[in-house]
Chains A and B, each alone.
Chain A
Amino acid sequence: MMSMSATINGALRKIPAWPLYIIVAGYVVWEFWRALNQIGPYLIEPINVLERAYGKAGLILLVAGLMVTPLRNWTGVNLIKFRRAIGVTAFFVILAHFLVFAVLDVQSASRVWTEIVERPYVTAGMVGFLLLVPLVLTSNNLALRKMGTAAWRRLHKLSYVAVILGALHYLWLSRGFQVEPLVYLLLSIGLVALRYRQIVWRKQPA
């Protein structure tokens, strides 16, 4: 087991993180192009389908970001150098999700405001998105140095709240009993709970 994770880590060392930005940006542009030309799932109602595609991709990236640490703890496979790219691209995909909602779907600033204030599931999504803003602004080495590791880490714990709000947003807007949004919510809560347990463990005297 150890040697296998060491092999994987050795291979991962040779892979840079920057292609992830290209891949995710490419995904956003590709889906937009398909929606514009009403190809595949975008044939009939491209706006709603694009809004959902971006939303789900953003949530998947957020959840993936939360998986990096437990994966290392359990298997020794270390993806930590990709985590910044995962988090930053998650923010931009969710920004695209918000822009489709605001510009293409709801189509006016006053209606955007009404939606955010009056619909709890939109409120949850919006708060989650806003929590990501300070995180993306500090996702660089300069900010990390200036803030110090402890303060930076404390700030970035906001991502736990953001992921859960994102999953809640998805579950809330689903009509009827649907398994998929429930899976994301349980996964998010589980991954955050793992952190909580670690925090408790560390506080216990050795």
Chain B
Amino acid sequence: MAYRWKNDLTQADVTPKAQYMNRRQILAGTAGLGAIGLVGGAQAQTALEPNTLEEITSYNNFFEFGTGKADPAANAHRLVTSPWSIRVDGMVDRPGDYGLGDLLAGLTVEDRIYRFRCVEAWSMVIPWNGIELADILAKVGVQSGARYVAFETVVQPENMIGVQRRVLDFPYVEGLRIDEAMHPLTIMATGIYGEPLANQNGAPIRLVVPWKYGFKSIKSIVRITLTDQEPPNTWAGINSREYGFYSNVNPNVDHPRWSQGSERRIGGGLFAARQDTLMFNGYDEVASMYEGMDLSVFY
């Protein structure tokens, strides 16, 4: 079932390693007043160029490791990712505790360059390496009555400062409708730029659902449950007026906290212009799943 979706951002958009390691240094070298125009121009030309690995690994939300954007990069080294097992349970034919390697054995890791849109109105372009979730679900055998997939993030209290401070009600949980989970765009990422995921990006395995706000793409997954009930998701539990179950990127449904009509691509510097946010983050192929639903009700 792999290769069901084709990148519109292609392999050519994956920046060679030497370049993604260096772009920041080049920028830093030309920094100063004279560089303002230069940076703005470069941004316009390369709007769909993936962000650098440094950007992707330095600006994160991972509340288990603190609430600041730099906190996960500073604290996530304490996450223990090996050995790693994932409990698969609920309405599946082959439930059990799977070692990560066993669960993924024989499945195809693809390159997927996706736009990534945070509910806080910033965005990146990330060259993921991952496996279609549908392939993993096929491996464990989804029973016919299953309508939703629930996910859970690992809790290692002694290693997670955010858990110690009770920043949220942990473990972090998320969920998808079964058709969303089976959609070819939905992947379980294990790497970025061909390298294993950094801990702050959700090592060793995380969900990536590119047409939804980033908080749906739950990190460091230890449990996958097939169910016939809509599962809870952490942020909707905290504030259901602000965060819904679906949380599709939608510039027309305003969020009480952040305007969703536009976004700022990370990497443009102090004078980065905002750009319009696209419906479903530009992934129109998912629209048919929501036909007949009022997206201002099911936000």
Residues of A within 8 A of B (CB): 35-38, 41-50, 104-107, 111, 114-115, 118-121, 173-179
Complex CA gap A42/B24 in Å reads 12
**Highest count of chain B CB atoms <10 Å: which of A37, A41, A44, A173:** A44
Is the C-beta of B18 less than 8 angstroms from some C-beta in chain A? no
Closest to A179 in B: B165
List the A side residues contacting B272 at CB < 8 Å. 47
Contact (Cβ within 8 A) A46 B67: no
Bound CA span A179–B66, Å: 11
Chain A: minimal CB distance from B173 (Å): 15
**A interface, by DSSP: helix, strand, loop or mixed?**
helix
Does the CB pair A121–B67 fall under 8 Å?
Answer: no
Q: In whole angstroms, what is the CA distance A105 to B268 when docked?
A: 12
Q: How far is the CA of A47 from the CA of B263 in the complex (A)?
A: 13
Known: A44-B55, A45-B69. A35 touches B165 (CB 8 A): no
Residues of B within 8 A of A (CB): 24, 27-28, 31-33, 36, 54-55, 58-59, 63, 67, 69-70, 122, 162, 165-168, 238, 254, 256-259, 262, 264, 266-267, 269-274
- For A42, list chain B residues within 8 Å (CB): 270
Contacts of A48 in B (CB 8 A): 69, 122
Inter-chain contacts of B273 with A (CB < 8 A): 107
Tell whether, in the assembled complex, residue A44 and residue B58 are in contact, meaning their CB atoms are under 8 Å apart: yes
Give A28 to B264 CA distance when docked, in angstroms: 23
Please list 29 pairs of residues, one from A and one from B, whose beta carbons are closer than 8 Å in the complex, sorted by A's number.
A36-B31, A36-B32, A36-B33, A36-B36, A36-B269, A38-B269, A41-B70, A43-B54, A44-B59, A44-B69, A44-B266, A44-B267, A47-B272, A49-B69, A104-B270, A106-B274, A107-B274, A111-B262, A118-B256, A119-B256, A119-B258, A175-B63, A175-B67, A176-B63, A176-B167, A177-B165, A177-B167, A178-B167, A179-B165
**What are the 10 A-B residue pairs with the smallest beta carbon separation, nearest first?**
A44-B59, A176-B167, A37-B31, A46-B270, A44-B58, A176-B168, A36-B270, A35-B270, A44-B55, A107-B274
Does B67 lie within 8 Å of A115, measured CB to CB?
Answer: no
